[in-house]
Structure 1
């Protein structure tokens, strides 16, 4: 037995990945939920502090959000590709290739950073105008220019989290995200109000937080992780890059779809309710993003566990992983939905505590209560797309997101808000209905694929047995 193989077997994270599939999903999901919940505080904290500057400032960062989703999304997609590919190598007991794949991820990180920094800073103004920023354009530029100058930290942290998930090391992911969120909580009021920098201060606080998180992650990868970054061992392999991108590009494109969805909804909201409608959506969606964390975290765990079992040829476990992920996700989101529905009037105060924004309080409360129904279908859709990512079928995952988030959500939002005249309330109900139908589509497609994969595997086993019998 080689040293590499022995080390794989002795690694706690790998043992979890290749152990009981239900326990693996649960053990990875709990700290992942905590980690992602902490990470989502970036957006929530920025929103709460910026709300004190008025509804125009809040709407301005709302117009920047779709672009931020793109900048964060493609690295997160590459991180998902890293999770799927590296975990499959770990499942196959090939540590050398797992390390080499991680270095390929870092190469892609550098390339993405250069592209995003140059393109977005050059075209930020026309993009914001295209999304309907209008009178908020200057505040949007103040916030966005600084935020996207820190693209390297956004990109690196997102891809690094994917590598940590691949080795089952969710504890360090949690610590890094917690560290960054605490920094952001401390720095936001200092830069926004004490130094009187407004929305620029919110962006500076976020960039500094992500920069220090990135330094912490680099230190860990050098000293205290299973996957190691050693340039002397790097051997470029087109096949590894292709495997990462097969999942990473579609997964990253999912964020592009979500960003397009956000931009499209902003345009519809401008049509039916003006800047105030965008401000309500911007504030309320930050709460929705936190409520989405549990099913998203479970989905990220499903990618890792599915990839490891796929690499180990344990195909029957994949259906167990899928069903169990949906089950625990549903339990959590039902509790979250009830809590947000009941606490909506108090939560809305966080975004409408100043004289400039207090008029939005009741409408934000209504938004939070309507979108409580949105959460109930998330575990089904997200768990289903995660199965496809885990087995390397990124395009299938992307197509589901296009149908669920772009086609159905925008279609029903426009139909209810504009055609039927329900205004911004129609947009909210359109999101709920579109997500419900899209999640059902994702579920049935994933179940069909899993059954087909199991059947193919059984046929392959039968052929091997027959050939063995004939040889004997």
Structure 2
């Protein structure tokens, strides 16, 4: 029998209300997680530049692993929300069970496969000596917890898919807050150094895992039930999860890769100083987009449920309201960054050696602040594509924005128009504006096509009933 949970009721209710109520907990969780990342860097920085560099060496590998587990989580969220819309609980249960199984298998394979070649991969970065040694120590400990991390990301996707973002927030927040407290204890009080930072991360992941496992396997008070007894349509559901999950993962990897190319442009235009300015400014811009990521998670779940109901009007209402909601937040964030650019820049340039960055960093922040209000048009269209199971469209959006237009316009402004470092900022902004405009038009066209298709399905069903 189908359980009547608050999350499921919310997904089936007014789409505008659902977007707001599902977004807010995820915003809180993502902000707390971002603060943890900042605090973690601060504690590790106290061990010296080699320790910070050691973690930095493992970071790209870690992000690729996160991209794949996050992709499976988004795929699970999409399928489960659509099955909720269809009122097909058994297939929602199957999707949850298969996605967790995929995560566990992938986690074990990554752990076993990565250990023997980890040293060779890290050496490819050119690291040697103490930095390489610290990177190896840190990454080997983190790899022990990779399977748990996979489980966490996928269960978070399951919870979002069934409209339970509050519990997702609790799990993410527990891990982040615990890690913030364990870092100084393990690193400095116990004297474990960089190993302590890694153990703090693994223990925090384990704590979140225990909390989620308690909900799924012991209390069993989630909408979905994890069971291997009544699995349905295995190949079809796994393919549906991966149809969204793999493009999502590739999109995240492509976005990370494009930053390497942009860094090359920045080095040509502004040298090491330019990289420092970009790193500082982009960190602030990324932090400003965190609330929008929370809304994007809600868009995937709500549009997925509407798609499952075959309710194009509800789907379009959720999509357009989310963009208006995100645009409002984006404009407010842009105004704050623009108005307080000099105060924000001072945080990164208070030392005498870094003070030379101040003027250029203020200019970068002011230009890139206009980037934020454009984000909802592309990010939420991509989230809607994920919700309705069109993963390839979501990947195409990522490629258009990050590879084609960001890089093209930055190249144009730096190498053809000779605008120097500011050409990168203006190139990224112009590229994003064009990409988001094209993407939004594609989203509107898709929602109209769904309305027409669903209308045709309804008419056909009525004719069959009359016959």
For 1:395 and 1:256, how far apart are their aligned partners in 2? 15
2:20 to 3, 10, 26: 26
Match of 2:288 among 288, 291, 297: 291
Task: Say if 1:144 and 1:282 are closer, same or farther in 2 by CA, change over 3 A.
Answer: farther
| Structure 2: runs of 5+ lacking an equivalent | none
Which of 412-421 and 119-128 deviates more?
Answer: 119-128
2:211 to 202, 211, 216: 216
C-alpha separation in 2, matches of 1:69 and 1:120? 14
1:17-416 aligned within 5 A: 17-50=11-44, 61=55, 64-118=58-112, 120-121=114-115, 138=132, 143-194=138-189, 201-222=196-217, 223=219, 224-234=221-231, 237-274=234-271, 277-348=274-345, 351=348, 364-416=361-413
Whether contact under 8 Å (1:389, 1:397) holds in the other structure is yes
2:456 counterpart of 1:459: yes
When structure 1 is superposed on structure 2, of 219-228 and 166-175 the one drifting more is 219-228
CA distance, structure 1, for counterparts of residue 268 and residue 195 of structure 2? 28
Listed one character per residue, the Cα deviations across residues 46-73 of structure 1 (whole Å, up to 9, x for unaligned) are: 3444555677766665564443332111
Tell me, in whole angstroms, the C-alpha distance in 2 between the residues paired with 1:231 and 1:278: 51
User: Mean alpha-carbon deviation: is it higher for 261-270 or for 402-411?
Assistant: 261-270
Partners of 2:233 and 2:272 in 1: how far apart?
A: 49
- TM-score, normalised to structure 1, is 0.87
Asked if structure 2 preserves the Cα contact closer than 8 Å seen for 1:247 and 1:394, the reply is: yes
SS at match of 1:229: coil
Q: SS at the partner of 1:227?
A: coil
Structure 1 stretch 106-115 or stretch 262-271: which is displaced more?
262-271
Unaligned runs of 5+ in 1: none
CA 1:374/1:84 → structure 2, altered by over 3 Å: closer, same or farther? same
Q: How many Å apart are 1:457 and its aligned residue?
A: 2.2
Measure, in 2, the Cα distance between the counterparts of 1:342 and 1:303. 33
Cα RMSD (Å) = 3.2
* CA distance 1:201–1:286, shift in 2 (3 Å): farther
Please say if residues 89 and 97 of structure 1, whose CA atoms lie closer than 8 Å, have aligned partners that are also in contact.
yes
Q: What's the TM-score once normalised by structure 2's chain length?
A: 0.87
Q: Report what 2:444 is aligned to.
A: 447
Contact 1:47 1:286 in 2 (8 A): no
Q: CA deviation at 1:399?
A: 0.6
Q: Aligned partners of 1:349, 1:283: CA distance in 2, in Å?
A: 11
Whether the 8 Å CA contact 1:131–1:264 is kept in 2: the answer is: no
- 2-structure distance, mates of 1:131, 1:424: 26
Q: Following TM superposition, by how much is the alpha carbon of 1:171 offset from its aligned partner in structure 2, in angstroms?
A: 0.9
Q: Is contact 1:52–1:353 with CA below 8 Å preserved after alignment?
A: no
Please give the alpha-carbon distance, in whole angstroms, between the structure 1 residues aligned to 2:326 and 2:28.
14
The number of residues matched between the two structures is 464
| Displacement of 1:81 | 0.9
Deviates more, 1:304-313 or 1:228-237: 228-237
Q: Distance in 2 between matches of 1:83 and 1:338?
A: 33
Q: Is the 8 A contact 2:299 2:380 kept in 1?
A: yes
Q: Deviations over 1:311-350 (max 9, x none)?
A: 1111221111111010000111111122233344444455
Name which of 421, 434, 440 aligns with 1:437. 434
Between stretches 430-439 and 143-152, larger displacement belongs to 143-152
- Tell me if the contact between 1:128 and 1:137 (Cα under 8 Å) persists in the aligned partners: no
Q: In terms of mean alpha carbon deviation, does 77-86 or 29-38 score higher?
A: 29-38
Q: Distance in 1 between matches of 2:294 and 2:456?
A: 34
